[in-house]
Structure 1
Amino acid sequence: MMQPGEQMHGDEAPGADEAPGVTANVPRNVRGELTARAPLAKLVWFKSGGAADWLFEPADLEDLVTFLGQLGSSTPVMALGLGSNLIIRDGGVPGVVVRLGKPFSSVEAKRGEVVECGGGAPGILVASTARDAGIAGLEFLRGIPGTVGGFVRMNGGAYGREVADVLVDCDVVLPGGNLVTLPVQDLDYSYRHSRLPEGAIVVAARFKGTPGDPHEIGAEMDRIAEERENSQPLRTKTGGSTFKNPEGTSAWKLVDEAGCRGLTMGGAQVSEKHTNFLINTGDATSADIEGLGEEVRRRVAEKTGRALEWEIKRVGRP
């Protein structure tokens, strides 16, 4: 009998009938790591939440394409990057969570001020590679706490720029295992949103900048890092910006105006340093965190008449 968190390789992987509580049969012929009932709390910034029915960490792109092709489109699939901007609910995540590791983390500067990145590469590595190559315009990625796959999907942005401004195209494995390359215009970007379907996994992307001086680029990256450190609760268990900024104002201002600074629910708290951040003070459940966010939304609507929209993605079973 398998134990929670036990890893399998290749044809050791059992079917769902051998793993009580697991909802999906999964392909057996993988070369990466496949883990049943995999705890996810340690993989997300909030350090809370339940387990994935299955966690798959593919060996390479071919392994991922083969796996998803054999999995079939009826099983839910979710990509997991650095675990920022994410609440994993306490009941866990059904289906398969795919985590892109080292094989998807390369970043390389190309001709024409283009930077080619794997979907698992963190934003700071993308910005640093661009700096070293004298490519300007990607400094803002230093301020996005996530991986290429995540911020391409959600049109991540910071400090006046967003992915839509710099993306050339991206390679995506669609549900069912089809690998396609999509130009930026096909993603139909809007504020923190793209038209990528659920279950689609961004495995690579290309960003285009402009010629620049590495010292000036580095100075801008340092400014961004210092501003984040001074204004955001980065050294706590948090999830990044909680709510989207409504048109014409900032979410934190509305939260503050509604008197929510420092508000608590269970082990969750609205940050006193930056009110658009929620914090796990130590023992918060995901229900505490999400419930606090909903209470903030209620109070903001009551006080200001404005409806805050979640920016943090909330997934899984309650």
Structure 2
Amino acid sequence: MNLPDVRGVLTRDRSLSEITWLRVGGPADVLFQPADVEDLTQFLKVLDPAIEVFPMGVGSNLIVRDGGLRAVVVKLGRGFNQIEIAGSRVTAGVAALDAHVARKAAAEGVDLTFLRTIPGSIGGAVRMNAGCYGSYVADHFVSAQALTRSGEEVTLTAQDLNFQYRHSDLPDGWILLSATFEGGQGDPDALATRMETQLKKRDETQPTKDRTAGSTFRNPAGFSSTGRADDTHDLKAWKVIEDAGMRGARLGGAQMNEMHSNFLTNTGGASAADLEGLGEEVRKRVFEHSGIELVWEIKRVGEPIKNI
């Protein structure tokens, strides 16, 4: 694979298990860590359009299969984590951590506290319309800057992204650069207190010290009394998993967490095949038990190891 000259770092055959939260997955053909937007733009303009590009944040909601990714994985870092606040609007680079954005906004009296307990970075939050405690990216989103696969910078509106429950219509290969949000006004001390309360509630109900990727499956569709594209569904994924007898279920080093049955966990030494295989077994058992077809919330990419 011929690659353009860059100012950032290009690494061939880079293991992705070291940079995903679940610590599984084979190598990417190439990992590119651009120095800044200009470096990334020029790279995309020159890169063979037949080569797949896969943008990656902090790997918090991702299973990379054991055979790895036949692509250039673009991982954005320090050149893409700026946070700027002007009045009630907050613009954050896609590599900025959700929790950091929430804290910095709160210190300036801007309420984006819903981001505080969401794992990962702003790029993933926009891509997946992340949210909790009744507030979601779609509720606060103003616009985003992105690069197309060919390196053209574009501005995206909420209409362009067509936010839905845990989904947006960002085209494959496009790379988000930054996003602007509108937050309500609030007292900084009160906002800080609210975030501490949210953190305490999360830590009491979720296995935050275990190796997980957040919620494994979306809450079942068709069970929302509000009609909103969020997780205010009346029926929760953890409940149908538990009812199907799959709380604590294991496959190799993978387990459906005992504390919260919708958290797929690497208990140590799990392969991507273990994790995905257990998830598929859960989907099968839930369907057999209740007729409900669970939809993955964790993104799964790459190739399995081929049997010889």
Short-chain TM bin: over 0.9
Match of 1:97 in 2: 73
Match of 1:315 among 289, 301, 304: 301
Q: Does 1:37 align with 2:23?
A: no
Distance in 2, matches of 1:300 and 1:313, equals 20
Q: Which runs of 5+ in 2 are unaligned?
A: 224-234
Deviation at 1:72, TM superposition (A): 3.5
Deviation at 1:26, TM superposition (A): 2.2
Match of 2:192 in 1: 218
Q: Does 1:306 align with 2:282?
A: no
Q: Secondary structure at the match of 1:244?
A: coil
- Which residue identity is paired with 1:91? G
Q: Does 1:61 align with 2:61?
A: no
Which string of whole-angstrom CA distances, capped at 9 and with x for unpartnered residues, describes residues 14-54 of structure 1?
xx3xxxxxxxx322x10000000001111111011111110
- Which residue identity is paired with 1:208? E
Q: Does 1:127 align with 2:102?
A: yes
Deviation at 1:219, TM superposition (A): 1.1
Which string of whole-angstrom CA distances, capped at 9 and with x for unpartnered residues, describes residues 206-239 of structure 1?
0101111111111111111111111111111111
Q: Secondary structure at the match of 1:127?
A: helix
Match of 1:115 among 65, 75, 90: 90
Does the CA contact (< 8 Å) of 1:72 and 1:176 recur in 2?
no
Which string of whole-angstrom CA distances, capped at 9 and with x for unpartnered residues, describes residues 256-292 of structure 1?
0000011000110000000000111110000000000
Aligned residue pairs total 292
Q: Secondary structure at the match of 2:192?
A: helix
Q: Does 1:141 align with 2:127?
A: no
Distance in 1, matches of 2:126 and 2:3, equals 27
Distance in 2, matches of 1:114 and 1:148, equals 15
Q: Does 1:187 align with 2:164?
A: no
Distance in 2, matches of 1:228 and 1:98, equals 31
Distance in 2, matches of 1:272 and 1:38, equals 33
Distance in 2, matches of 1:26 and 1:194, equals 30
Match of 2:205 in 1: 231
- Which residue identity is paired with 2:23? K
The worse-fitting range, judged by mean Cα deviation, of 216-225 and 32-41 is 216-225
Deviation at 1:195, TM superposition (A): 1.0
Deviation at 1:159, TM superposition (A): 1.6
Distance in 2, matches of 1:77 and 1:126, equals 27
Does the CA contact (< 8 Å) of 1:72 and 1:175 recur in 2?
no
Does the CA contact (< 8 Å) of 1:65 and 1:177 recur in 2?
yes
Identity %: 49
Match of 2:142 in 1: 168
Match of 2:241 in 1: 255
Deviation at 1:73, TM superposition (A): 2.8
Q: TM-score if structure 1 supplies the norm length?
A: 0.90
Distance in 1, matches of 2:133 and 2:25, equals 30
Q: Secondary structure at the match of 1:238?
A: coil
Which string of whole-angstrom CA distances, capped at 9 and with x for unpartnered residues, describes residues 167-213 of structure 1?
10000111111110112221111111111101111110101011111
- Which residue identity is paired with 1:278? L
Q: TM-score if structure 2 supplies the norm length?
A: 0.93
Distance in 1, matches of 2:198 and 2:69, equals 34
Q: Secondary structure at the match of 2:116?
A: helix
The worse-fitting range, judged by mean Cα deviation, of 53-62 and 182-191 is 182-191
Match of 2:230 in 1: none
Distance in 2, matches of 1:83 and 1:114, equals 27
Does the CA contact (< 8 Å) of 1:270 and 1:277 recur in 2?
yes
